[in-house]
A and B are shown apart, each in its own frame.
Chain A
C-alpha cells in the first residue's frame, strides 16, 4: 500500500464573487522511501499542492473535494490538534528560501529543541544533544557552536542545512521540499540536493521534490509528475520521461533546458504564458500554447492514457494510440518509401 495517496484533489480559493480553482482533480501516490518530483512552471500549482498536503494553504485557499490519505488515514478531515501531530512528525516540509524560513529572533538551538519537545517528552539537555547530533549529520562544522547562533549569523546554504537538520529531528516519513535550492547559489545547490537525497536514502524517508528545474529532477527523483495550470498532465518514471517526453508541455519544458540550445543560440522557450487562475482556458488548458492543438483540445479535457512510457493527458497521444489495433498491428497510413 502506498504511504501517501491523493485522490481527485480539488483546491479552490474562495472569493466573494467567484471561486478560483487552483488544483483540478489531482491524483497520485507516493510509496515508502520513494522520491517523487513535481515539475512545472510558476503558477502550475506545485506549491499549492505541497501546502495542501499539510493543510497549510494560505487563506482563502481550501480543499474543496478529494482525499489525501497518509498510511491509510484520511487527512482532509483532521482537526487542528490532530494536524499538529502529523506535521513535522509524519510529513515535514522544507521551504524555498532559507533566508526567511528560520525565525530571526530565535536561536538555531531554540528552533530545534522546540521541534523535538512539541512531539516528544524529553528534557532540554537530551533534546540539545539530539539537535547537535543532527547538525553534525547534515555536515555542519562545529555544531555545538552553531546551536547557540542566530540565523543571521549563518550563510544561506548553512541555513538550508539547519532546516534539513530540523526536519530530520522528528524522523518524518515524508519530506515535501518546495524548491529547496532555488534561492541558493548555484555552487551550493548541488551539495544541498546531494545531502537531501542522501538523508532520505539513509533514513528511508519519502521525498516529494517540487521544482521547475528538470536538471534537478534527473539527479534525485525516481518518478516525476508534470503539472500544468493546476492539473497533472504527465506522470511516469523520471528517466523515461526525460528520454521520451510524451506530453507537448513536457517536451517544451525539456526543450527549454539551456543544454538543449547550441552555444550562442537563443534558448528555446514555450510560446505564451501560464494562464491566470481567473482566466482558465476551456478544454485542455495547454491548448493555447500547444503546437498540436485541435478543435477537440479546445472543447474537451483529455483523460489519462498510458502511452507505453508514461501516463499522459493529451488528445494527440490518445489519437496516436487509437491508431494501434488493440489486437496489435499498425492501422494507420503507412508512408511510402
Chain B
C-alpha cells in the first residue's frame, strides 16, 4: 500500500514539474516585465541594471530554479494588474469555479447514468434511440451556442433566471464564499451549470451505454440470471458496478475537459471564477497570473486523477493492494 501511494506521489510530482516548467517558459515569452514596471521613460542602461538586479539575465535554468523555489514556498509571483499575490487572487476565485464544476458534475452523473443504463437495457426501444440521437447532437453543439440559447429563453424571453454573475453568497466556515446556501445564489448557478453539464453529458451517456451493453452479454450476468436474481439487482448491482470501472477512469481524464469548458462557461455568464479570471489575465497579458493559473489547474487535475485511482481501487477488488500478504 505504501509503495503504491509513493509511486502515485512521484508521478504527481513529475507531472507538476512539467507543468510548472511549461508555464515558466510561457511567462518568459509574454512581454517584458521591466517595461511593465518602469514604463518607457527610463534609459537602456538603467533598464539593464534593473534586469541584472531582478536576475532576468541569469541562465534560464537558474531562473527556473528560483521560480520553483519560490513556488514551493507558496509564492507564484505577483499579478501585474491586481498588485497582489497571484495565489491570493486565484484563491478568491476558486470557490466559484469549484461550485460550478461540482454542480455540473452532479448533473452529468444524475442524467448520464439512468439514460445510459436505460439505452443499454432496451437497445431497440424508441426512447433509447432518441437518447442516442440527443447525445450525438449534444456532442456536436458547442457550449457557447447551448449557453446562449439557454440564456436567451430562460433569462430574456421568460425572465425565469438571472443571466450573469454569481448572485448572493454566504460565508461558510469563515473561508469559503458559497452560493449554494441561498436561493439567489442557486438561481444564478442553474444556467451555467446546466450549460456545462449539457456538453459533458452526451459522452458519458454513450460511454455508459456501450460499456453496459458489453457487460450485459458477459457470462457472469447470464449466471446471475440463472440464479433467479431480480432484474433490478442484476442491472444495478451486477452490471452497473462493472460498467462504471472504465467510466470512472474516463471521468478523471475528463476533468481536464471540464476545466477547459469552465473558461468558456464563465466568460459567457460573467461567472466570477478562475476561468473568467484567466481570460482577463490573457487579455491583460498578466503573465504571472497566467502561469499561476496553469499550475493551479495542473494541481487540480493531478489531485482529481489520484482520487479517481483511489475510488477505482475501492470499486474494483482486483486492483486493491492487500495490506497483508496472502
Contacts and interface: CB of A to CB of B under 8 A. Distances in A.
A105 B222 contact: no
Given A58-B217, A97-B219, A101-B220, A92 B238 contact: no
Contact of A84 (B230, B237, B245): B230
Interface in A221-269: none
Interface stretch (A23-31, A37-45, A112-120, A201-209): A112-120
B219 A100 contact: yes
B121 interface: no
Given A58-B217, A101-B219, A104-B318, A88 B227 contact: yes
A114 B229 contact: yes
A223 B298 CA distance: 69
Interface string B236-274: 011001100100000000000000000000000000000
Nearest to A166: B227
Contacts of A163: 223
A87 B228 contact: yes
Interface string A177-211: 00000000000000000000000000000000000
Given A100-B220, A102-B220, A80 B229 contact: no
A115 B231 contact: no
A212 interface: no
B317 A86 contact: no
B224 A119 contact: no
A107 B317 contact: yes
B233 interface: yes
Interface in A61-109: 80, 83-89, 92-93, 95, 97, 100-107
A87 B226 CA distance: 5
A126 interface: no
A138 interface: no
Contacts of A83: 228
A300 B290 CA distance: 84
A18 to B, nearest CB: 19
A119 B228 contact: yes
Contacts of B227: 87-88, 92, 114-115, 118, 166, 170
Nearest to A163: B223
Contact of A152 (B221, B224, B226, B317): B317
Residue from B228, B233, B315 with most neighbouring chain A CB atoms (10 Å)? B228
B229 to A, nearest CB: 5
A88 B317 contact: no
A118 B317 contact: no
A118 B318 contact: no
B230 to A, nearest CB: 6
A128 B82 CA distance: 65
A150 interface: yes
Nearest to B319: A152
Contacts of B231: 80
A276 interface: no
Contacts of A103: 220-221, 224, 238, 241-242
Interface of A: 54, 56, 58, 80, 83-89, 92-93, 95, 97, 100-107, 114-115, 118-119, 150, 152-153, 163, 166, 170
Closest 3 pairs (CB-CB, A-B): A88-B228, A87-B228, A93-B226
